[in-house]
Amino acid sequence: MLRYALRRIPSGLLILAVASVVIFLLLRATGGDPAAVKAGPDASPETIAAIRTSLGLDLPLPVQYFRWLTGLFTGDLGYSLVTGAPLASLIGNGLQATFVLTFAASLLSVGIGLVLGIVIAVSSGTGRSVLDGVASMMLAVPTYVSGVLLILVLSVTFNVLPVGGYRPLLDDPQIGVQYLAMPAICLALPAAGVLARFLATSMRQVMDEDFVRTGMAKGLGRGRLLLRHILPNALPPVFTVLGIQVGQMLGGAIVVEAIFAWPGIGSVLANATLARDYFLIQDLLLIAVAVFIVIQIVTDLAHAALDSRVRLEQPSS
């Protein structure tokens, strides 16, 4: 398994290298001028030109590209073109907040998805239709709708959770978790709906397998059969979906972070994109590519760990 993971590193690096060129060139091709945004309203063309020069935006593209790469390799990410903030702290703080949110949302989605998926799989008739509908609604309702609804219900009407904001969990866990709860639930609901539906379908397929019938014939308890035999066999495909869902949650966090004023990387990326903050966008997109590569590797490894039929190692010829 370790050899498999190590074997993926060169291809991962190649993908990163190609991605860096594509990201760099695409950003320049989209037009816009970060110097004009930095200069603010009513700035004269002379002021904007001076800012452009000071930021190195008038240098040839290859020079700008290699400056960026050099900065990445030496750990000097530089400063935001628009806000002047150090990119290292901007990205570090944003990533920290987003990872906390995504991790909490992943746990919630797995918890809700597992419970709902199992119940759907074992239910029948009207109950199953209703629960199926609930799962469908969870994945169909966009986060910007569920987010606003959650605020209206839990904050405005019952006033039990704060509307938005952020308190680092390590600084004050008791308060921090209350700020985390609503955005995490909002982000988790669509993924939980997807997981529940996948799990239910997968479990029902496994229930039709001969070994389940054999287990029943041998007198295995139904609970034992469900949790020890059916669920483990139904989980591997769900894990693959979970990997994709975590990736989607990282992307979907942009909307949730905006609604709940959660200072994650999503809002940083959205603002940077609107302002054409090239250096910041480049770094963030490259990090996103790297994270997706890692998630895919971890998902493959988890899949193999759960399903002994999956072999990651290729037999040596």
Which residues in 232-291 contact other proteins (CB under 8 A)? Answer: 258-261, 263, 267-268, 271, 274-276
Binders of other proteins in range 53-82 (CB under 8 A): 53-54, 79-80, 82
Taking contact as CB under 8 A, which single stretch among the options 135-143, 163-171, 237-245, 307-315 is the one that binds other proteins?
163-171
Name which of 182 and 297 has its Cβ closer to other proteins: 182
Phi, psi of 86 (to 5 degrees): -65, 130
> At closest approach, how far in Å is the CB of 24 from other proteins?
17
Name which of 243 and 264 has its Cβ closer to other proteins: 264
Angle formed at CA 6 by CA 3 and CA 7, multiple of 5 degrees: 85
Q: How far apart are CA 107 and CA 211, in angstroms?
A: 31
Taking contact as CB under 8 A, which single stretch among the options 17-25, 45-53, 64-72, 285-293 is the one that binds other proteins?
45-53
User: CB under 8 Å, gap of 24 or more: what pairs does 241-245 form?
Assistant: 241/194, 241/195, 241/198, 242/106, 242/110, 242/191, 242/195, 242/299, 243/295, 243/296, 243/298, 243/299, 243/302, 245/106, 245/109, 245/191, 245/194, 245/195
Binders of other proteins in range 203-232 (CB under 8 A): 204, 207-208, 212-213, 216, 221-223, 225-227, 230
As given in the structure block, the two tokens for residue 310 are: 């999956």
Residue with tokens 């219900």: 153
Residue type, 316: S
| Residue 164 touches other proteins, criterion: CB under 8 A | yes
> At closest approach, how far in Å is the CB of 4 from other proteins?
34
Name which of 83 and 248 has its Cβ closer to other proteins: 83
Binders of other proteins in range 178-207 (CB under 8 A): 178-179, 181, 204, 207
Q: How far apart are CA 296 and CA 11, in angstroms?
A: 13
Name which position in 18, 152, 305, 310 contacts other proteins (CB under 8 A): 152
Name which position in 2, 10, 40, 314 contacts other proteins (CB under 8 A): 40
> At closest approach, how far in Å is the CB of 274 from other proteins?
6
Give, as one character, the DSSP assignment of residue 315: P
Residue 139 in contact with residue 113, Cβ under 8 Å? no
> At closest approach, how far in Å is the CB of 108 from other proteins?
8
Give, as one character, the DSSP assignment of residue 312: -
In the three-class reduction of DSSP (H, G, I as helix; E, B as strand; rest coil), residue 158 is classed as coil
> At closest approach, how far in Å is the CB of 77 from other proteins?
13
Name which of 244 and 261 has its Cβ closer to other proteins: 261
